[in-house]
């Protein structure tokens, strides 16, 4: 009787568990100067790969699947991946999350929460004019190793990641 | 004797470096065609007090968000001895597309097509929209954004306009360099 009840209960609950796992909502937080600086500084032994993108940026959308693939390929390696969307915070639900869901994004993404766009650009690279997409790698001590401007291929990203986790 | 020639060569080389360093950001002449096929040379505009060069795009949403603001800037300064030249260096955007886009968006300033992105390379331009304001000596006095609000709903600083006002008044440009997010100029491979 007990077993039968348990089985029935499981049958009843299971669809809800599966459903909630499937629709686990992607959460997007704002990243500001303080948060990004601390992320760059406190590496905890891992290198860092940062990609700046926007839903309105065609080459950003084109290179995004390569990053998703790299996150899978480097799952247990000492490198963290983060994305920063340059869309506006009031576009999280209408644009950012739908895009990330469509891409099956498997890494932490933030939305630009800097008071001035210029401060975010300068914090990442003084020579950067703000062209998107842009990718930066930092080694485990927080030292910047590369700045890639414009659309990159899977192999070009991979080369930079290999370089940065070796250090 | 050989030693002396070598010495002279080194001095000439150093002199050349010093000479170049004395002219920061001076743009050499170039000639490009507008979307109607008419040629324009930068040095044609040596009598203008200011030359505004804007790298633009037809498909970039940020550049497009600035269409009206670019046109307004042109209309406000066209009678103030100021020349406006848009430059489209994107490899995938043809002269026909640039013409159609200008007509559709009521852009009345000259837009040049930069085949092979040679002029973008010369300016080291990388993003659209990206502004350079030159004086009559073709020196870059301002480089950066049009203003500080992509959406245009919260403009705090109109940097290109401020720089233009200062140049036209014969003053030193207070903020000569700014940065803003935009689209990468798609260059030839």
Give, for all 167 residues of chain A, the pLDDT tens digit: 556 655 556 555 555 544 444 456 789 999 999 999 999 999 999 999 999 999 999 999 999 999 999 999 999 999 999 999 999 999 999 999 999 999 999 999 999 999 999 999 999 999 999 999 999 999 999 999 999 999 999 999 999 999 999 87
> For the segment A71-100, what is each residue's pLDDT rounded down to a tens digit?
999 999 999 999 999 999 999 999 999 999
CB A135 within 8 A of CB A52: yes
Structure tokens at B69: 């603001």
pLDDT at B25: 83
- What are residue B139's DSSP bridge partners? B26
Split chain B (189 residues) into runs of 10 and give each run's mean pLDDT: 57 46 75 98 97 98 98 98 98 97 98 98 97 97 97 95 97 97 95
pLDDT at A167: 72
User: Inter-chain contact A131–B184, Cβ cutoff 8 Å?
Assistant: yes
pLDDT at B56: 98
Q: How close B185 comes to chain A (CA, Å)? A: 8
Interface residue of A114, A131, A134, A152 to substitute, partner B, most B CBs within 10 Å? A131
User: Inter-chain contact A130–B178, Cβ cutoff 8 Å?
Assistant: no
| H helical segments located in chain B | 2-21, 61-65, 67-77, 95-104, 118-123, 159-168
pLDDT at B10: 52
Angle, alpha carbons B107-B169-B153 (nearest 5°): 45
The residue among A167, A98, A80, A84 whose CA lies nearest residue A130 is A84
Nearest to B179 among A88, A129, A150 (CB): A129
pLDDT at A25: 79
Residues A63 and B32: their CA atoms lie apart, in Å, by 32
Neighbours of B29 (CB within 10 A): 10
SS3 A4: helix
Q: Are strands B130-135 and B127-128 parallel, antiparallel or unpaired?
A: unpaired
pLDDT at B189: 85
Nearest to B178 among A58, A118, A150 (CB): A118
Nearest to A117 among B126, B181, B183 (CB): B181
Q: Domain A26-166: give its CATH code.
A: 3.40.30.10
User: Inter-chain contact A129–B185, Cβ cutoff 8 Å?
Assistant: no
pLDDT at A12: 57
CB B161 within 8 A of CB B168: no
B129 cis-preceded (ω within 30 degrees of 0): yes
The answer to whether B57 contacts chain A (CB < 8 Å) is no
Q: Which residues are CB-contacts of B166 (< 8 A; sequence separation ≥ 6)?
A: B172, B173, B174
Domains and CATH numbers, chain B: 27-184 (3.40.30.10)
- Entry field: residues in chain A: 167
Residues A48 and A67: their CA atoms lie apart, in Å, by 13
Nearest to B130 among A116, A128, A129 (CB): A129
User: Inter-chain contact B184–A86, Cβ cutoff 8 Å?
Assistant: no
pLDDT at B58: 98
| H helical segments located in A43-112 | 58-73, 97-102
The residue among B75, B72, B100 whose CA lies nearest residue B88 is B100
A18 HSE (CA, 13 A, CB side): 6
CA-based nearest residue in chain B for residue A116: B148
For residue B182, which residues of chain A lie inside 8 Å, CB to CB? Answer: 129-132
Interface residue of B61, B181, B185, B187 to substitute, partner A, most A CBs within 10 Å? B181
The residue among B55, B48, B86, B26 whose CA lies nearest residue B164 is B48
For chain A, which residues make up each domain, given as ranges?
A: 26-166
SS3 B44: helix
pLDDT at B7: 57
| Cβ within 8 Å of A, B 125-154 | 125-127, 130, 148, 150-151
The residue among B119, B34, B149, B120 whose CA lies nearest residue B85 is B34
pLDDT at A21: 46
For residue A150, which residues of chain B lie inside 8 Å, CB to CB? Answer: 184
pLDDT at A11: 55
User: Inter-chain contact B181–A54, Cβ cutoff 8 Å?
Assistant: yes
Handedness of CA A143, A145, A150, A155 (dihedral sign): negative
CB B44 within 8 A of CB B76: no
The answer to whether B91 contacts chain A (CB < 8 Å) is no
């Amino acid at each position: 009787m007990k077993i039968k009840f348990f089985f029935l209960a499981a049958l009843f609950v299971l669809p809800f568990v599966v459903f909630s796992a499937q629709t686990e909502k992607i959460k997007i937080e704002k990243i500001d100067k303080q948060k990004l600086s601390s992320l760059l500084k406190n590496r905890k032994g891992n290198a860092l790969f940062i990609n700046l993108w926007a839903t309105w940026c065609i080459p950003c959308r084109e290179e995004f699947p390569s990053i998703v693939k790299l996150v899978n390929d480097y799952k247990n390696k000492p490198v963290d991946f983060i994305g920063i969307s340059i869309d506006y915070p009031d576009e999280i639900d209408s644009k950012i999350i739908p895009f990330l869901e469509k891409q099956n994004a498997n890494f932490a993404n933030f939305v630009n929460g800097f008071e001035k766009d210029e401060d975010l650009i300068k914090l990442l690279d003084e020579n950067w004019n703000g062209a998107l997409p842009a990718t930066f790698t930092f080694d485990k001590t927080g030292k910047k190793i590369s700045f890639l401007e414009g659309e990159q291929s899977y192999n070009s990203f991979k080369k930079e990641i290999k370089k940065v986790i070796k250090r | 004797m050989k030693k002396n020639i070598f010495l002279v060569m080194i001095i000439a080389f150093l002199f050349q470096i010093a000479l170049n360093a004395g002219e920061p950001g001076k743009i050499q002449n170039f000639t490009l065609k507008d979307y109607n096929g008419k040629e324009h040379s930068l040095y044609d505009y040596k009598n203008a007090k200011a030359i505004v060069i804007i790298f633009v795009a037809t498909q970039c949403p940020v550049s497009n968000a600035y269409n009206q603001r670019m046109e307004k800037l042109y209309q406000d300064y066209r009678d103030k001895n100021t020349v406006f030249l848009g430059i489209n260096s994107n490899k995938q955007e043809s002269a026909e597309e640039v013409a159609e886009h200008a007509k559709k968006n009521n852009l009345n300033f000259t837009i040049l097509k930069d085949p092979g992105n040679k002029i973008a390379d010369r300016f080291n331009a990388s993003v659209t929209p990206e502004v350079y304001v030159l004086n009559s000596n073709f020196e870059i006095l301002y480089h950066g954004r049009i203003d500080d609000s992509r959406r245009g709903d919260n403009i705090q600083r109109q940097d290109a306009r401020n720089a233009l006002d200062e140049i036209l008044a014969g003053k030193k440009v207070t903020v000569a360099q700014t940065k803003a997010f935009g689209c990468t100029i798609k260059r030839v491979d």
